[in-house]
Structure 1
């Protein structure tokens, strides 16, 4: 992820920090973002936006935002060469308790309560937030380029692959690999469960389809963590795993004792992969059948795929 935009001289005091996303008019994800309140050198209020700035099908975020400036006195600039982003985890002293709200469509919302903004990181004078997308994710810290956060004095440092593995094991999609811009739907990408969507906010780009799905639609897919193994049991290199990114996950129907056949439609898709585990966009009807032992998941008849539900997800009775 890269910090690549700074909104300055806003007319209203900022709130935050928070996690959210920019959507297209068709309700598809363009960018998932972390937003931090930030004053400039002249003490003007603004926001720092952290997002995956690698080239993709989505229009560049800075250009997209500039379309909405009109006559407002807002300045937007690329500051990706001024900051570094760190993730810090492993020192949470308490388990975060959260309540959930369930819609008939399958949308799931965390209920934070009014006592504390869920992304707030203790009031310190720095660019940081609690990573409340999932319990155990820790916090995110933005520092000046080349600097290190204060936690490096008490924590081990690791490469970016360790963070990727950490979020995969927690079932957290992120960036253009897991949420292909202009293609991914927000609820299918778990933005609702991660607290990145507001279904009661006023007008915003992409709201119509998002709210319609909440009230009258059905969430048919979700991103789930998966384990990936070769069917013949042979060892696998990191390069082989990476070659599977965005491969189709097909279903193989297990013979039923009643002799009936099941007609299946659609397939899943592998997303981020690291050390034999990954994230995959899966059809929920297939997931339910797999959990009842009626089918198995495979890629190219060579790889076996098995899923699990993140432990922090809400427990609810399923019909």
Structure 2
């Protein structure tokens, strides 16, 4: 059975105009070169210091590029892009169209694979999406947590570094492209092996801990919980403290392995 979920927590920004590719290419962590209509890539817009500002999907369209971003942060993204626009020949505007995900198979044409993990889901925007939902946002949360994939609700914007959030392991950073905002810090963390903390799955009995709950190894802080469902959550943990007995709110917790290299 195919499950389809309207992602009401996501929204779209349209960037059009003859400079749209070069404009976004100099900003985003993902390459836009040879992005054909109908293809989606995952990426981010960072601060100059390399911290995450926006996670987003970059969607190729015939005469534009769509940015699929957290709905609560769309206005902030519009403002930030317009600051960077300067003399670039681009038009930036909000786009009122739906964002959908489905799994394990697409219900029809117009769907593209979620680029973050093979087999995770399919994604569609606007009229390509189905007319009715067969699942909920909670179903989608359980699906992506089972694959160890973070989403906007797992990120502390303007605080977290994208490599800590596994952007390097879900195809969200193109280390071979030219300059982008925040590239120097991001590349240095990856190149020098300075990643000491990562988003990893944790398992436990019962309902998920509240976001921000402290994960302990004995009396030492190991990290904090981000999003979760019954029995499973993602937590931002120190890699040197993920082995052995962990606890959250007095409950035993076991940590899984970080996502593998792509």
- TM-score, scaled to structure 1: 0.68
Distance, in Å, in 2 between the alignment partners of 1:282 and 1:251 is: 10
Distance, in Å, in 2 between the alignment partners of 1:136 and 1:83 is: 25
Q: Is the 8 A contact 1:6 1:77 kept in 2?
A: yes
Deviations 1:83-125 (A, max 9, x none): 1111111138xxxxxxxxxxxxxxxxxxxxxxxxxxxxx9x6x
- The yes-or-no answer on 1:138 pairing with 2:121 is yes
The answer for unaligned runs of 5 or more in structure 2 is: 1-8, 22-33
Q: Which residue of 2 aligns with 1:313?
A: 260
Deviation, 1:12, is: 6.1
- The yes-or-no answer on 1:34 pairing with 2:57 is yes
1:304 to 230, 252, 260: 252
- The yes-or-no answer on 1:221 pairing with 2:197 is yes
- Please give the root-mean-square deviation of Cα atoms over the aligned residues, in Å: 2.7
Q: Which residue of 2 aligns with 1:74?
A: 90
User: More helix by proportion, 1 or 2?
Assistant: 2
Distance, in Å, in 2 between the alignment partners of 1:187 and 1:34 is: 17
Q: How many residues of Structure 1 are paired with residues of Structure 2 in the alignment? A: 238
The answer for unaligned runs of 5 or more in structure 1 is: 40-44, 93-121, 230-235, 254-263, 291-295
Instruction: Spell out the pairing of 1:90-109 with structure 2 (5 A cutoff).
Output: 90-91=104-105
- TM-score, scaled to structure 2: 0.81
Instruction: Spell out the pairing of 1:39-188 with structure 2 (5 A cutoff).
Output: 39=62, 45-54=63-72, 60-79=76-95, 82-91=96-105, 126=110, 128-144=111-127, 148-149=129-130, 157-175=134-152, 177-188=153-164
Deviation, 1:4, is: 3.1
Larger CA Rg, structure 1 vs 2: 1
Q: Which residue of 1 aligns with 2:224?
A: 269
Q: Is the 8 A contact 1:31 1:51 kept in 2?
A: yes
SS at match of 2:168: coil
